[in-house]
Structure 1
Amino acid sequence: MSVLFCTAVQADAFKLTSTDIAQGKAMSNVQEFQGFGCNGGNLSPQLSWSGVPEGTEAFAVFAYDPDAPTGSGWWHWQLVNIPKDVTSLAAGAGATGEATVPAGSTSIRNDYGVFGFGGACPPEGHGVHRYQFTVFALSKKLELPEDASGALTGYMVRANSIASSTIEALYERK
């Protein structure tokens, strides 16, 4: 019984924070996509995490919109195998085509069809969308195929997650 209690306490201590986004608050157009009719800065937000659980061997960071009208949501960003000694990502770390992610990390192709971060771009008039930025502490580095889908990546991350923490930010195009 005490082992379960310790594990729960460890998981509760794992916390994601950001200087750019906040729980339940609207994101700025700096995090809006550039394309598909959107004209934002397309910069991933600054993210930091603390309270890393014992046994963590790597991290993963996801940005996901469950409100996208696709039937399966929208993967905006999946970065896996972030080294275990890294506890923050600078704003813009998810830029596509640039070496801005920590060495050893792997970007998965997002639903825009590119590797790296793709900002918010909900359909105009579709209402407020929730953008879930989640960091996962992983029990091991993941072995994924080069062309891993967002669904496969999500499955493997969750299957090997020790703990996670999420900031759910909002965005709307009127």
Structure 2
Amino acid sequence: MFGWLFGRRKQEKFFLEMMKAAAEGEGRRKLFEAASMLGIIIKGAGTDEEKCAQIASGLVNNLLKASGTNINSNEDDQFVAALFSVIACSHFSRILTSQFELSAMLSWVILTAGDIEKIEISNQATEYYIDMTERKAPVLIAAGNSIAKWVNQPTAENFRAVVNVFDHCRSMVGYA
């Protein structure tokens, strides 16, 4: 109808932008559905970084609980929790198109209730994540894939798979 006004290239570009927006909306819906499955409540409207951090910290809290531990148990569990927080934020920030670094730091602050003494553990986990990413470490790939699968299909079975990878990482660090 408006072909004379918008050339074919503009129409194709517009269509692709519409499809991208629809896909982003679907990813957000799935992420919030997965969070809801674990009882994660996103407090306040907030920014996408805050939403990402709340969902990642909620996921890690659920992983800790499913593994029979908590964020205050020992430094090894804290390190693995921080690592999974970073991995989750990496995935969730792509879905929410939020700033990864800020989301990861906020997630750790939420997990530790702002305990400044535990900030170094988050820094170490982030450095380790960067190193593992560059080396394409299988454990990092397994963790990322299990989280992605859980987001796409938020079932108890898929959450259990994330817990299994989390527990495997805990055993690799040396404490489980």
> Structure 1-normalised TM-score?
0.27
Bigger-Rg structure (1/2): 2
Going by fraction, where is helix more abundant, 1 or 2? Answer: 2
Going by fraction, where is strand more abundant, 1 or 2? Answer: 1
> Structure 2-normalised TM-score?
0.27
